[in-house]
Amino acid sequence: MDELVRRLVERTGIDEATARSAVAAIFAFLVEEGPADKVQALLARIPGAAGMAVPEEAGDAPTLGGFGGLMGGGVMAVLSKLQGLGLGIGEIQEVTQETLAFAREKAGRDAVDEVIAGIPGLSQFV
């Protein structure tokens, strides 16, 4: 994952620790919300991804006072997590786009797109 973290630092200007935490949050979100078989296949094709994809304990992620479920709960929770790292909306978009581009390079477009399609509401954000 060092390759992706370096890429995020270079292309977005965020620091290494924030980049690493953001990638972990994105991959953990995929594990929590995505179709298990497709997510595991995707992560297996990205060196180091599975080790970073550690979901939070239930109840740890903020859900906008209970409204998260109305607004794509998991998507809103990861957005909140990324904002909690100090990222603004523009930076979150850049980090997400770069992370997905990296995943597509390593695992293939179809593998990534199948995961995205399997998470309700995610396609509206990526």
SS3 of 36, please? helix
Which sequence spans correspond to the domains of the chain?
A: 2-120
Query: What is the rounded CA–CA span in Å between residue 9 and residue 107?
Result: 22
CB contact set of 11 (below 8 Å; sequence gap of 6+): 94, 98
Architecture of domain 2-120: Orthogonal Bundle (1.10)
**pTM score, whole prediction:** 0.84
In percent, the amount of the chain with pLDDT more than 70 equals: 86
Kindly report, residue by residue over 58-108, the tens digit of the pLDDT: 444 444 444 444 445 688 899 999 999 999 999 999 999 999 999 999 999
Query: Which structure tokens are listed for 8?
Result: 């995020």
pLDDT of residue 64: 42
Q: Which residue pairs from 56-59 have beta carbons closer than 8 angstroms and sit at least 24 positions apart in sequence?
A: 56/28, 56/32
